[in-house]
Amino acid sequence: NTPPPKPTRAQLWSLAIGNAVPFIGFGFADNLIMILAGEAIDRQLGAILGLSTLAAAGLGNMLSDVVGIGVGDIIERYSSAILGKRAHAALTIEQMELNICRAVKSWASVLGISIGCLLGMIPLLFIGQRKPLYFT
């Protein structure tokens, strides 16, 4: 058994982008839905049912996760359409099992979901409720 050839820098970049892009979509959709649903639940049902803000956030998170199951497939399809099949096509199965490819895949996923989650927090800029500052 000869070891597989080391992936090139271009192959690793392609792998990283191919893994990061869908996770940007997942993080964005998850946070966006969670924030909007949590806010709506807090405003509409919080007072009626006596829910705390954290309970409303938890329900918003549950709704976001449920919607995410369905949206996940759509995000995968759009990511594949945007990127094509190039993310994994350039690498062999043996190369994908190399530690460097596993690390690139993991770190790209972490970076992608982090960027997506931050972008999904954009509604917070428009939600008018601000807590007062108690220090100067």
**Sign of the C-alpha dihedral computed for residues 8, 12, 13 and 18 taken in this order:** positive
Query: Is residue 86 scored above 70 in pLDDT?
Result: no
Query: Is residue 131 scored above 60 in pLDDT?
Result: no
What's residue 17's pLDDT? 92
Report percent pLDDT > 90 for the chain.
55
CA distance 15 to 6: 13
pLDDT higher at 23 or 128: 23
Which of 59, 26, 15 lies closest to 41, judged by CA? Answer: 59
pLDDT higher at 132 or 6: 6
CA distance 27 to 20: 10
pLDDT higher at 47 or 98: 98
Phi-psi region of 50 (alpha: psi -120 to 50; beta: other; left: phi over 0): left
Q: How confident is the model at residue 134 (pLDDT cuts 50, 70, 90)?
A: low
Average pLDDT over residues 43-51: 85
What's residue 88's pLDDT? 61
Orientation angle between helical segments 9-44 and 99-120, nearest 10 degrees: 30
CA distance 76 to 25: 9
